[in-house]
Structures are given as structure tokens and as C-alpha cells.
Structure 1
Amino acid sequence: MSVTEQQLGELELLSQSQLKLNQLTGRITAILSSFDGRLRGLESSIVPLHRSTQRLLRAEVNIDRTLAALERTETQQASIADLEPIIRTGPSADNVPAYLEVLDEIKITYSYVESTGNNASGRRIQELMAVGADRLSNLLKSWVEAESEPIDPREHLQRGMQIPAFSDVLLKAIIPILNYLAGMRSGGYYLTGALNAYISARSAFVVSSLSMVHTEVLDFVETRASGSVAREDGEENTYIRGMGGFQSLVESTYELCSFELQKAANLLSSMNPLPPPEVSQTTINIASPPLSQLVSTASNVSSTLTRANASKKPQRSLGSLSFHVGLVLDFVSTLAHSLPTFEKAFTGHMTADARARKTEGSIRELRGVEKTQRQLCAGCLRQVIDGISTVSAKYDETEGTASTTVHDISYDSLRLLLQVYEFRSISGPVLRELGSGNLMPGTNAPPMLNVALNGVEEEQANHNVLVNYLNNIVATLLSALEQRSKSIRQPSTSAIFLLNNVGFLQRELAAAPVSQNNNVSMLEVLGQDCDDMLSGTLRSAHTAYLDAWGPCVQALMEDVPLAGGTQSSGAKSKLATSLGGGNDKAIVKDRLARFYECLDDMEQLHRAFPFSKEDLEVRTKLLREVSRMICPLYNKFIVKHRQSGFSRDPSKHIRMTEKEIALKLDDIFR
């Protein structure tokens, strides 16, 4: 067989095999198609069943969860019902930890209820949490109040005593409560309530501690502002800085409030974690009630002083005016110096709390009171010069007979002058605001001295206008004293009155220090103008007084005729005029008798109207000048006529030696 036939046979065989294979493939495909159809039918039957099974399984899980939740809710509701009475009853001092555990359970319950969205139960639990926080705050407040017994702040501040601090026991008790409340709710919601309780207790402590001081200030001003009970004798009518209690009241208010704010800051700094700044700043509200209390008192004092100043009663005495002016200046000075400190300490805090705004409002009200009282100060400063210038020029019946002692006019005017300068921080600016044109005194007073203020620094300008004003007080007083001296009939007594009063003024002004820290006297502050006014008045009174010794001198001057038994008030220059005379024995005897009579009159005069014991320099100077006038003339007269034999018994007419005359003069001026 050839190769070709063999290959054809193989091809034929291969073709048959391929045909059989195709037949098998077709049958297998038909079988698979039938199986696929059956699977689709099975799937369509099983899938719904599977889905139903899954739904049932999920329903079973949900039912189990619901039953569990219902069981848990029922348990929690029962627990809340059991815990509610405990929470509403509140803690006691010995069960605080147990109470906090109860609140912890409530907090856990609230967290669960909040996750379930049960708003009704959530509100109930929130209410219980608020009640629990409130009960803790009340307990904290009761503990703080137990250590908040009122004190007298003046005893502690003036004596350097420390204000009572909290005990360690109290601090250890309240700090855990504050920490717990801070963690109960974010933002310090419940902590704020506890701080409000603390603030209420401590502000009540401050108000109670200051209550007596406020009452004393109001009583003092009410009874003394009008001068109705001010006496004209003794120091009760002298106003001394701080006498009204304003400074003590303001300082006590500031110190107590500052101490409480610092104490609250120290308390909050002990917390862990530290509270938010907006919560910490609420402690400023401790100062709100005390400042409102201070505003009320300041307003009442202002009203009382204003009414007293505008009273239509008869014009007050200089003593009463001095007391009133001191009262007003002290009040305004205290407010003016304290308000910047108050503003720095109690304003500008980062809190929107209404009470904090009220604190700032109180300080604004105090500033308004101070501004109103500055106007009252201006009125008082006008009254000072007018009051001195309108003093009666004559002694009235209530004063009795004329006296050469230092008059109340001098005492009261000097007191007014020193008071105005003592409160110069207020009186200077007020005077400058008014200007000299608004302070012109009455027509009987000397003119105002103008001071140029252009280009002068403000402080120096205030000082200049104040010194100008004080010099006008001195000028007005000297004018009033001169008018009063003219009402005294005897020129010698009138001169002694001026010497005593003006000498008193000069002496006191020279001895009055401006402050405790320097040796500058008030007379140096007032300057050369004041010294010239005082010295000029003293020179005039000095000359008038020496003229009173004219009759004694005239009796010893033989070239001057005797004045017929009456004293002559002519000047020494007139006495030196030659008017004739003689050496007649009778005339010599008359002259000696007249001399001794005049000398006795002067002695009686000085006993009735003596010089001031304090003014040694004036008395010494006058003794020296009178001795120069009398002793040489007397010695010359005695020596001349003792040898002339004017009498058989000269000792009968010559009663005293020159030495005895000198001793007598020394005794007169002692």
C-alpha cells in the first residue's frame, strides 16, 4: 500500500472520530442545559425561604435586645426611684462621699438614657442632677457661712490684724465638692451654681461686717452736717481728717472686697482641673453688694451735706462752718483718691454676668457722687471768705465784755485755712476750675490777688491758685480783726487785742508743718505776701500800744504840761513838742503822783487784759521798748528833783526806785 492510501485512511478515521465527538458534546450540552434550568428553579424556591429565615433571625435578635433594654430600663427606673429621695434630701456633713456615689449612678444612667434618645427620662434625670448639684452647693454655702461671722474691719485694718482666713478643714471639705461639680457637666454649669452660693455667703459677710461702719457714718453726718449739735467750746467743734469715718469706710470696703477676691482666686487655683476663665471671673460679683451698699451711703451723705449747705437757717458761726467745710472736703477727698483704685480692682473683668455690670455701674455712680460734691466744695470755699468778711464788727451781748484774748474768729479762721490746705488735692483743682472771678468775696473784704496760670504745669497751677486763695483768707481775717478791735473803746486794749490775735496767727502759721515729712511751715507756703500782711498789722498795733504809755511819759517830761488828769493818746513825737513847764515843787509832786497813777492804771489794764502767755517774743520786745521809754526818763526826773529839795521828805512822793520801776514793768509784761 502506498503512503497516500494510508494517509487517506487515517483522515477518514479521524473524521469519524470527530463526528462522534461532536455528537457527545451535543448530548453533554443538552444535559447541562437541563441541569441549569433545574438549578434556577431550585434557587427560585430556596432564596425566598432564606430571606424569610434571615428576617426571623434578625427579629429574634431585636426582640432579645428589646427585652434586655426593657429589663435594663425597668431596673434603672427602679434605681432612679430609689435614688431620687436620697438626692432630694441632700447630703449631710458626714455622708458627702456616699452622696457623690449616688450622683455617679445618676450620671451613668443619664449617659445611657441620652444614648437611647429617651427625652422624657433624660429631662427627669437632668432635673435630679441639678437638684443634687444644688444640694451640694447649699451644703458648701452652709459650711462657708459657718466661718463667715461678721468682723469689725477697722480693728483688723487699723491695728494691722489679719482678716480671718478659711480653716484647713473647710478647704479640704469644699475643694472636692467644687472639683466634682466641675466634672458633672462641661462648661462649668454646675460649678457656677456652687460659686454663686460661695459668692452669696462671702458678699453677705462683707456687707454685714461693714454695716456698723455705714451706720456710724450716716449717723455722724446726719447729726453734725448742719452744725446743730456742734459746740463752740472744746475740740468737739474741730473737724479732724477721718473724723466722719469716710476714709475708714472706703478703705474697709476696698480691703475686704480685695481680700475676698484673692481668697476666691486661691480657692479656685486649688481645683484640678482649673475652671474656665469665664467661670473664675464670676467671683468679682463678691464686690457687687458691698459696692452697692457704699453707693447708697455715699448718696445719702451727699444729699445730707447738700441740704445742710443750702439750709435757710440763720448764718452758721465760723466754728460750725469750719466743721462743715472739713466734713465736705474729707468726703470728696476720700472719694477722689479711692475711685481710681476701685476702678482698677473691680472693673474690666471678662464676664457677661449682670452682677459684674452692676459692679461697674456702682463705681460710675460713685464717680457721679464725687462730681456732684466737687460742686458743693466750690460753694463751701466761697462761704469761707464770705463768712469771715461778714463777722460782726462789734461784741454782742452773748460775748460779754471785750476781751484781748485770742478770739474765736482767729481760731476758726486759722482752722479753716489749714483745712483747705490739708485737702489741697481737692481744693486746689476746684479753685482752679472756678477761677478767681467766681470767688470774689463781699465788698468789705480785700481784693483778690490774681495769679497768671499760663504756661504753668497743672500741679503748680493748682498750688498757685490755692496759695492765692489762702492769702485772701488771711487778708480777710486781718480786716475782720481790725474792725473788731475798733469796737473796743480803749486804744490800749484794742492794740493788745490785735497783738494777741495777729501774733497768734503768725506764730501758728510759722509752727504748722505742711506735712510730717518736711520742715516747711504754712507761713513759708503762703509766701512773702502773707508775711507782709501779718507784719504790717503787727507794726500798726505795736505803735498804737506804745502810744498807750504816753501819759506815763508825759508825766515825766517837764516841758510838756499835764493833761488834766486824763490820759493822752498822742504819739511820742507830740510828747516831744515843747509846750512849756516849770520846776515848781507842787508841779513836781503832781507829776510824780500822776506818773504813779498812770503806772498803776497800766498795771490794772494788763491784769484785766493781759498779753498772750504764748507770745513771749512780743512781750519781750514791748517790755524792752517800754523800759527804754520809761526808765531813763524816770531816773533823770528822780535824780534831778531829789537834789532840788522839792520836799522835806522825798520818800513820801518818790515811792519807787529805778530798779523797782524796772521790776514792776517786768511784772506787768510777765
Structure 2
Amino acid sequence: MAGSRNAAFAEESAEVEVLLASLTKTKDITKRIAASLTRLDTSGKIVVEAIGPIYSNTQQLQVTNRNIDKVNEAIEKLRQPLDARGREEGIIRAGPKNAGLPQYLNALKRVEKALKDMSSSNMRSNQQAISEFQTLLSTGVNQLHDTYRQMLQEDANTIEPLHFITKEIPFPTISPEKIQTLGPMAMALLSAGAQSARMGQRDDDAAARIYAEIRGDYLQNSLQNLAAASISTSKRRANDTGIYREGSSGIGAYANAIEGMFIAEAENTSKIFRDDGGRIFTLTCGKAIATFTRTLAELNGVIKSRLMNDCFLAYEILDLITPLGYRIEKRTGQLRTQFADALRPLRDTARSSLNEILSQTKRQAESIATLPSDGNVVPLVTQTATRLQNLANFERPLLVLLSAMGEGSWRSAPAAASQSTLNLELTPSTENPTLLSHYLLDIIESLFSTLSTRATTLHRTKGLQGIFLLNTVAVITRAVNSSPDLARYLAISPHNTKLDAYRKTASSLYMSAWREPSGHLFDTIHTSGPSASSRPMSSAAGAIDSTQIIKSLGYKDKDKIKEKFKLFNTAFDELIVRHKSLHMENEVRSSVAREIQSLIEPLYTRFWDRYHEVDKGKGKVVKYSKAELASMLSSL
């Protein structure tokens, strides 16, 4: 056992010795490594100190080299335009026609780009070259201006618009071939103008300016004659008292020409200037619009001087120009404001005329000093009838005016401060046709009520007053029935009852004179029998026997019957003579004759049947037989 333990101990001791020996070697190796690291660090410091300046110099040399390359590139770029100047100058000096427009425009673009590049370098050495390139660009642009202007002038000869209107030919536009040329030229001038603006020169809108100048003169000159004709055809002689007739002014042709020429011009500008076409179109139409505005202002003066008769011209202009402005705006997107501004004075005049017509109708009726002795109408009645028809012809502008003003506002003069705010942009849903009916009835009421007062003052009898007023109503009614436009507003219920009421009032006045003779045909005579049923009758059942009735009367009753016949004859004869001396419109004469016949004939027939034997057929008292009286009444 002891031997085994000693052996194990000896083995462990040997292992310990081996480990100690290894540890000693490791410590030696560690010392040698540390010494090597110390030497390496020292060597590294020496290398860094030796190589550092060389590396720094190398980096600086690389940066310098790159800078030199960039400078060489910049110099090359600067040399390129300078080298190209001679080539571009040759093209530009040759001009667009000789060099060819595409090549010429490309040369201008290259000069413009070179000028932009040199200007951006801001190098003093380039100032001379920049000046030369500016001169070259200016020369090229001026030549392009001349060519551009010349091409526009070729299509700017004055035309006669009526030729195109009457023959329904589209107004001329610039040919597609020229537009393909003018478009790039305009773009080149715009680009060159922008470059000039950057260099401090103010000519950045030359293409638009030249186009608007040339084409504007073309529009202005072509429309000038129609503008003058609109004024000359609207003016009247001093002694002309007639009401303006629709279409007698040249304003319609003028408006048609403006629309046709403006739409054609908008087509040109949209193709040549594309996105900027609307602005150029407005500039181009400026002169023509200015002339149009002055023309309307002069027409407004003409209308205001004869407002009662020429207000219809104002309505016609509103009816023509208001939708014209909307149509042109729909096609071009422009000019509606300009048309609205031009119309404003006329619109205000048209509005004020509504009250003026009412007021003047009343004043003119009040100023009548004498009335026709035969009951005929006065000229004012015929004028008013014509005026009513003309008003109905212009229903669209009047509906707009009245709807904007409101119910009844036409009875007072419009306030000056509110005139320019009148809205003409109505849709069918906002128009109120009843307003026009009310306005027209107000005119009739003003005429009839005032003339009725004058007739009471100036005519001595109710019959004469009645005939005068009946004739007045007849003329107005005839005007309504003969005009479909006017009938739409006055011949429909409940508005037509107004004229019927006037007619009944006048008829009652006239028929009051015929009630006198009819009153003589009533009797309160009683027979001597105990009752009316005991009166003798003829053999025919139901027939009246005048002989028996007369026999049954006393002397006093017979005398009363004779007196009634005499009074009737006298009054009837006088009325017949007076009736035939009166002037009556055809419809008045037939209507009054029916009323007289329906009043007199039944009464006379009854009276004659009962009492005609009072003079035993001698004709001294009973002047007219039933047939004779009926014949006379029918002849009325």
C-alpha cells in the first residue's frame, strides 16, 4: 500500500515540474514579444516621421491636378461659343429668308445659350465677347421682327365683313402653313425678349406687341365702317316722330361682324401663342372693343334724346350684345367683362325708359287740349298701341330688366346710385313673365284713366265720351290680337279681363244715351177690364190684338200712348243721326249696334204689338213698323 502511494506522489511531482518548466518558457517568450513590440513602435514612429511630408505633398498634387482639369474644361467651354460666333454670325447675317427659317432660329437659340453661359461665368475677360454676342443677338432678333411683321402684314388687308355675313362665309383666318411658321417665330422672339430683359433691356413681349398691333389694326379697320353705319342708321331727322322699328339700325350687322371676326382671331392666337393665346387675343381686340364702346356711348346719346321712341333701340342692343358677350366668352374665355362695361350706360338708359314711358304717356294724355268731335281716337292712342307691340317684341331684355327691378318698381324713377348694379345674368327659372304683363297693363291703365278724365272734361255728352273710350279700347285690343307676342301677355287670363272692364265701362257710357228712348217704351197703362187677363186677344192663340187693347183704353191713356210714340220717335231719330255722325272702329260699330238692337228692338216690338193701332195705321204717331225699325237698327 505504501509503495503505491509513493508511486502516485512521484508521478504528480513530475507533472508539477513539467508545468513549472512551461511557465518559465512562457515568461521568456512574453518578454521577447514585449521587446519586439517596443522596437516595432519605435520603427513605426521613424517611418511616419519620414513618409508623412511625402504623403501630404502627394494629396496636394492630386487636388491641384483636378483643379487644372476643371480649368481646362471651363476654358474649353468658354472657347466653344467664341469659336461658334463666326459660324452663327454668318447664318444670322444672311437673314431668315436666305439662311432658312429653321436654321436661323436654331442659330439664334445657340447664340442665346452662349450668351447665357458667358453671363453666368461672371468673368471680366468675357465682357467683350458678351457685348459682341448681345449685338449679334439683337441683330438677329431685329431681322426676325421684320420677317414676323412682314408675314403678319400679308394677312392684314382690310376686309368687308358684310360680304362674309350675307353670303354666310366663315371669316378668314391665318393659313395653317403660316401658323406653323409664326408659332416658332413667336416663341423665339419671346425667348430672346426674356434674355434681353435679363440683360436690362425691356422688350420681353415683342411678339405679342407686334401681333396685337397689326391684327388689332386689321380688326379695327375692317369693323370701322359698320360702327359708323350703326350710328348713321340710328339717327333720325328732327321732324321724325316715328317709333324705332326693330332691325332698322345697323347695330345687328355690326354685332354679327364683331362675333365672326373675334372668333376667327381667337383661333389664330390659340394656335400661334398656345397657352398665352387668351391674353394675346384680348390685347388684339383692344382697339376694336374701344371703338365699339364709343359707338354704344354715341348711340346711347341718340336714344336719350328721343327716349320715348328710341328706347326700343336700347332694348335691341341689349338683346344682341348681352348674349354675344356670353357666346364669345364661351368660345374664347375672354372679353365678357369688356362687353358688359360697354353696355352699362345703355342698360341704365333702358331701365330708366320703363318709368319714362309710363310718365310720358300720362303727361301726354293730360296735355291734350281738344278731342275729336266725332269720338275718334287721338294719335297718342295709336302710338301707345304701336309702343305696346314693340315692347312685346323685345320681351327677353324687358323680362331681364323687370325681373331685376322687381314688381312695381317701374312706377318710380330708378335711383341713379343703383342703376349700374342691374343684373342681366338671368336663367329661365328666374324670369317672371307676369311682370311684363303687369307693366304693359300699367301703360294701358295710365292711358285709359287719363283719357277718361279728359273725355269727361272735353266731351259734352256721355255718349260721345263712351264712343271715344270704346274706340280707344278697340285700337288697343286690335293691337293685342294682331300681335302674337303681345297676346302672350295681355290676351290670357286674368290679364285680358282688364281690357274687358274698360270696354264695358265705355259701352255703359254710350248706351246711357239710348236708355232715354227705350224708357218711352215702358208703359203703366191698364185696361178698363177687371184684370189683364180679360184683355181682348186676337184669334191666334197667344197673339196680342192691338185693336182690342186700344179700344179698351180711355182717352187719356190713348193720349199717353201717342205721346210715348212721339217722344220715342224724336229721341230715336236724333240718336240715329248722331250715331251715324260718329267715328267708330269697325269692331266698335258692330258691337254697339248689337247692344242697341238688343236694347231697343225687344221693347219696341212689345210696345208696337200692343199699341200700334193707336193712330189706325196713318203713320202720324207710329212712325216705324217693327220691320222698319229692325232694318234701321241693322244698318247701324
TM value normalised by structure 1: 0.60
1:100-153 Cα offsets, whole Å, 9 max, x none, are: 49947975995898699523432332232123212212321231124x42322x
Which residue of 146, 162, 169 corresponds with 2:169? 162
Displacement of 1:161 after TM fit? 0.4
Unpaired stretches in structure 2, ≥5 consecutive residues:
1-74, 119-125, 195-202, 415-426, 526-554
Which residue of 497, 501, 507 corresponds with 1:542? 507
Unpaired stretches in structure 1, ≥5 consecutive residues:
1-61, 232-236, 269-274, 309-319, 349-358, 441-456, 561-579
**Could you say which residue in structure 1 is the equivalent of 2:151?**
140
**Could you say which residue in structure 1 is the equivalent of 2:63?**
none
Q: 2:461 matched to 1:496? A: no
- Mapped to 2, the partners of 1:479 and 1:438 lie a distance apart of 18
**Could you say which residue in structure 1 is the equivalent of 2:398?**
424
Aligned residue type for 2:276: E
Contact kept in structure 2, 1:404 and 1:493, CA below 8 Å: yes
1:446-480 Cα offsets, whole Å, 9 max, x none, are: xxxxxxxxxxx996685555544443333322212
- Mapped to 2, the partners of 1:345 and 1:121 lie a distance apart of 46
Identity across the alignment (%): 13
Alignment map for 1:3-402 (pairs within 5 Å): 87=95, 96=97, 100=101, 103=104, 110=111, 118-146=129-157, 148-152=158-162, 156-157=164-165, 159=166, 161-166=168-173, 171-172=176-177, 175-176=180-181, 178-179=183-184, 182=187, 186=191, 193=206, 196-220=209-233, 223=236, 228-231=238-241, 237-265=242-270, 268=272, 277-278=275-276, 282-303=280-301, 305=303, 308=305, 322-345=308-331, 347=333, 362-363=338-339, 365-366=341-342, 369-370=343-344, 372-393=345-366, 395-396=368-369, 401-402=372-373
Contact kept in structure 1, 2:358 and 2:411, CA below 8 Å: no
- Mapped to 2, the partners of 1:251 and 1:597 lie a distance apart of 69
Which shifted more, 492-501 or 195-204?
Answer: 195-204
**Could you say which residue in structure 2 is the equivalent of 1:522?**
489
Displacement of 1:261 after TM fit? 1.0
- Mapped to 1, the partners of 2:102 and 2:502 lie a distance apart of 91
Which residue of 438, 448, 466 corresponds with 1:478? 448
Aligned residue type for 1:413: T
**Could you say which residue in structure 2 is the equivalent of 1:41?**
none
Displacement of 1:613 after TM fit? 1.4
Contact kept in structure 2, 1:202 and 1:286, CA below 8 Å: yes
- Mapped to 2, the partners of 1:535 and 1:217 lie a distance apart of 42
SS at match of 1:402: coil
Aligned residue type for 2:311: V
- Mapped to 2, the partners of 1:172 and 1:458 lie a distance apart of 45
Contact kept in structure 1, 2:318 and 2:347, CA below 8 Å: yes
Aligned residue type for 1:165: P
1:1-46 Cα offsets, whole Å, 9 max, x none, are: xxxxxxxxxxxxxxxxxxxxxxxxxxxxxxxxxxxxxxxxxxxxxx
- Mapped to 1, the partners of 2:579 and 2:244 lie a distance apart of 34
**Could you say which residue in structure 2 is the equivalent of 1:569?**
none
**C-alpha distance 339-499 of structure 1, shift in aligned 2 (>3 A):** same
**Could you say which residue in structure 2 is the equivalent of 1:661?**
629
Contact kept in structure 2, 1:150 and 1:209, CA below 8 Å: yes
Contact kept in structure 1, 2:398 and 2:436, CA below 8 Å: yes
TM value normalised by structure 2: 0.63
- Mapped to 1, the partners of 2:84 and 2:218 lie a distance apart of 49
- Mapped to 2, the partners of 1:532 and 1:508 lie a distance apart of 16
- Mapped to 2, the partners of 1:156 and 1:620 lie a distance apart of 58
1:481-519 Cα offsets, whole Å, 9 max, x none, are: 31132222233222111222223334443554348xxxx
1:298-336 Cα offsets, whole Å, 9 max, x none, are: 333345545x3xxxxxxxxxxx65414323444445554
SS at match of 2:459: coil
1:528-564 Cα offsets, whole Å, 9 max, x none, are: 3x4444333322322332232345446666879xxxx
Contact kept in structure 2, 1:510 and 1:524, CA below 8 Å: yes
**C-alpha distance 637-490 of structure 1, shift in aligned 2 (>3 A):** farther
Contact kept in structure 2, 1:137 and 1:193, CA below 8 Å: no
**Could you say which residue in structure 2 is the equivalent of 1:636?**
609
**C-alpha distance 616-343 of structure 1, shift in aligned 2 (>3 A):** farther
Aligned residue type for 1:389: K
Contact kept in structure 1, 2:565 and 2:621, CA below 8 Å: no
- Mapped to 2, the partners of 1:346 and 1:72 lie a distance apart of 44
- Mapped to 2, the partners of 1:474 and 1:327 lie a distance apart of 22
**Could you say which residue in structure 2 is the equivalent of 1:9?**
none
Displacement of 1:600 after TM fit? 4.8
- Mapped to 2, the partners of 1:97 and 1:332 lie a distance apart of 54
- Mapped to 2, the partners of 1:260 and 1:304 lie a distance apart of 31
Displacement of 1:602 after TM fit? 3.6
Aligned residue type for 2:447: L
**C-alpha distance 252-279 of structure 1, shift in aligned 2 (>3 A):** closer
- Mapped to 2, the partners of 1:590 and 1:253 lie a distance apart of 79
- Mapped to 2, the partners of 1:71 and 1:436 lie a distance apart of 81
Contact kept in structure 2, 1:635 and 1:658, CA below 8 Å: yes
- Mapped to 2, the partners of 1:254 and 1:174 lie a distance apart of 22
Displacement of 1:343 after TM fit? 4.8
SS at match of 1:610: coil
Displacement of 1:206 after TM fit? 2.6
SS at match of 1:521: helix
- Mapped to 2, the partners of 1:76 and 1:523 lie a distance apart of 80
Give the number of aligned pairs: 496
1:231-279 Cα offsets, whole Å, 9 max, x none, are: 2xxxxx22344544545544432332112212443x54xxxxxx66236
Aligned residue type for 1:128: T
- Mapped to 2, the partners of 1:75 and 1:617 lie a distance apart of 102
1:550-587 Cα offsets, whole Å, 9 max, x none, are: 45446666879xxxxxxxxxxxxxxxxxxx965469x9
Contact kept in structure 1, 2:226 and 2:254, CA below 8 Å: yes
SS at match of 2:635: helix
**C-alpha distance 617-264 of structure 1, shift in aligned 2 (>3 A):** farther
Contact kept in structure 2, 1:558 and 1:582, CA below 8 Å: no
Displacement of 1:411 after TM fit? 2.9
**C-alpha distance 606-213 of structure 1, shift in aligned 2 (>3 A):** farther
